[in-house]
Amino acid sequence: MAVYTNLGAETLAELIATYDVGELVSAKGIAEGVSNSNWMVETQRRDGRSARFILTLYERRIETDELPFFLALLDHLAARGCAVPATVHDRAGASLRQVEGKAAALIEFLPGVSPSSPAPEQARAVGAALARVHLAARDFPLTRRDRLDPAANRATLAKLGPAGLIAIDPALADAPGWAEEIARRWPADLPRSIVHSDLFPDNVLMLGERVTGLIDFYFACDGMMAYDLAVTHAAWAFDRSGAQYSPAIGSALVEGYESVRPLADDERAALPLLAEGACLRFTASRAEDWIETASGAQVMRKDPMDFLRRWRFYREQGAAAFASG
């Protein structure tokens, strides 16, 4: 959560002038993004109309050669009516530019706030919005491999080792065995599309019960649509710590999804295992970050136990976790 690069007002004004969006009238660095710098930018046209955008400067982690995938995906989805921000193309037609040696993109600003305590009707709307993205992305011509599949997550846990995991919390000792089992049972033949892969409430903008924007597609990749629904289920249907499951939210999310794209029987049957895979993914990545981030650092570490608790819930409940509410 920071602005890593300080862009002067003159540099910003010059950059904005390369787009046909009017003149720069305001730019505020916003506290979003862990691997990029973001500004909320306002412009005004000669006729007085003003417009707002998010300007992103890509700092690290996201490979620059993957940016065309992410930006083209936004345009593809926005053109098909999905609630995602479209990119702004410069006067030469490019959505990706270079500023002070870094890649930059200007994207549409969307209103809305991210719910911190979602209500079931909000989850229903998000389920439907996710299904719309899955359907709209099926003919997207580019692809990106999932780098965080169960095999990769299992390898992450193995790298940290039993001692490393137990140092975080003794309960994590179970994780490698569970991961082994998931990787062995992981389905290979469920319907695929481009999936968001990280649709936490933070990445959804809403006005009341209406989804105004799905954002932060930087984990989007080729994947099983039902797995993306399971990731979203794990991200939405629990309190932050994962100790408390909300059946009303879980059911509403799946019902909302199915109101747009009904699940096939094999997808529905796989949901509990896919949800375990989602928990494996976040447990592994958080455990890795936990160990790599010194406890004194100013970066907020996310507790891997939040997803171990969810994982335990899905193991114990099986299909019951996805019973209609």
Q: Which is nearer to its own copies, 201 or 272 (CB)?
A: 201
Report, in Å, the least distance between residue 51 CB and its own copies. Answer: 13
Q: Is 48 in the site for its own copies (CB under 8 A)?
A: no
String marking each residue 28-47 x if it binds its own copies according to CB under 8 A: xxxxx-------x-x-----
Tell me the window of 113-121, 173-181, 182-190, 311-319 that interacts with its own copies (CB under 8 A): 113-121
Task: Judge whether 198 and 216 are in contact, CB under 8 Å.
Answer: yes
Tell me the window of 89-97, 176-184, 204-212, 283-291 that interacts with its own copies (CB under 8 A): 204-212
Q: Out of 48, 81, 116, 184, point to the residue binding its own copies (CB under 8 A).
A: 116
Q: Which is nearer to its own copies, 8 or 170 (CB)?
A: 8
Report, in Å, the least distance between residue 81 CB and its own copies. Answer: 21
Q: Is 3 in the site for its own copies (CB under 8 A)?
A: yes
Residues in 72-91 that interact with its own copies by CB under 8 A: none
Q: Is 323 in the site for its own copies (CB under 8 A)?
A: no
Task: Judge whether 310 and 238 are in contact, CB under 8 Å.
Answer: yes
Q: Is 142 in the site for its own copies (CB under 8 A)?
A: no
Report how far Cα 166 is from the mean position of its chain's Cα atoms.
28
Q: Is 26 in the site for its own copies (CB under 8 A)?
A: yes
Report, in Å, the least distance between residue 214 CB and its own copies. Answer: 15
- Residue 308 and residue 279: Cα distance in Å, rounded? 7
Spell out the long-range contacts of 3-10 with Cβ–Cβ below 8 A and sequence spacing 24 or more: 3/29, 3/30, 3/31, 3/37, 3/38, 3/39, 4/36, 4/37, 4/57, 4/59, 5/37, 5/57, 5/59, 5/100, 5/102, 7/37, 7/39, 7/57, 7/99, 7/100
- Residues found in the chain: 325
Q: Return the axis-axis angle of helices 225-236 and 120-136, rounded to nearest 10°.
A: 160
Q: Is 155 in the site for its own copies (CB under 8 A)?
A: no
Given phi > 0 = left and psi -120 to 50 = alpha, else beta, which region is 101?
Answer: left
- Which single residue is written with the structure tokens 């862009």? 7
Report, in Å, the least distance between residue 229 CB and its own copies. Answer: 23
Q: Out of 22, 115, 176, 242, point to the residue binding its own copies (CB under 8 A).
A: 115
Q: Which residues pair with 38 in a beta bridge?
A: 30, 56
Q: Is 209 in the site for its own copies (CB under 8 A)?
A: no
Residue 279 vs residues 112, 179, 182: alpha-carbon distances, Å: 28, 10, 11
Q: Is 10 in the site for its own copies (CB under 8 A)?
A: yes
Q: Which is nearer to its own copies, 32 or 180 (CB)?
A: 32
Q: Out of 18, 114, 285, 293, point to the residue binding its own copies (CB under 8 A).
A: 114
Say how many residues touch its own copies, by CB under 8 A: 32
* Selection from 210, 240, 229 nearest residue 305 by Cα: 240
Given phi > 0 = left and psi -120 to 50 = alpha, else beta, which region is 317?
Answer: alpha
Report how far Cα 74 is from the mean position of its chain's Cα atoms.
13
Q: What are the residues binding its own copies (CB under 8 A)?
A: 1-3, 8-13, 24-32, 40, 42, 111-117, 205-207, 297-298
